[in-house]
Amino acid sequence: DQQVKQNSPSLSVQEGRISILNCDYTNSMFDYFLWYKKYPAEGPTFLISISSIKDKNEDGRFTVFLNKSAKHLSLHIVPSQPGDSAVYFCAASPGGSQGNLIFGKGTKLSVKP
């Protein structure tokens, strides 16, 4: 039973536009959420995180929004660039910053020039 779900396997966006990647979770014990980016033949790279006590965290072009009541989070990339093309994984932790990570299946983002 998947506790972290990324229901869109792929997303295609035009360069300069906004990319919105979505993630749903089922376990209300999750209190820390992260997004990772993965290029082929490389390990996942940490992008941005958010604690359950916040509803928004911003870092440059990347913003993560958390809606606890809906058990939903999203990653916004503005503006999207061709170099952002990668697989994006949503991950959650039940143990704050000390716990293990539970990942979704990923969304493949393609940013077209």
CB-CB contact of 18 with 85 (8 Å): no
| Residue choice 57, 71, 74, 102 for contact with other proteins (CB under 8 A) | 102
What does the per-residue mask of binding to other proteins show for 70-99, with x meaning CB under 8 A?
-------------------x-x-x---x-x
Q: Which residues have a Cβ under 8 Å from the Cβ of 46 and sit 6 or more positions away?
A: 34, 36
SS3 1: coil
Q: How far apart are CA 97 and CA 48, in angstroms?
A: 13
Q: CB under 8 A: which stretch of 14-22, 30-38, 64-72, 75-83 binds other proteins? A: 30-38
Please count the residues of this chain forming the interface with other proteins, following the rule CB under 8 A: 24
14 vs 51 by CB, closer to other proteins = 51
| Residue choice 41, 53, 60, 113 for contact with other proteins (CB under 8 A) | 41
Query: What tokens were used for 7?
Result: 């229901």
**What type of residue sits at position 5?**
K
| Residue choice 22, 49, 52, 74 for contact with other proteins (CB under 8 A) | 49
Count H helices, E strands: the chain?
0, 11
Interface residues toward other proteins, by CB under 8 A: 4, 6, 32, 34, 36, 41-46, 49, 89, 91, 93, 97, 99-106
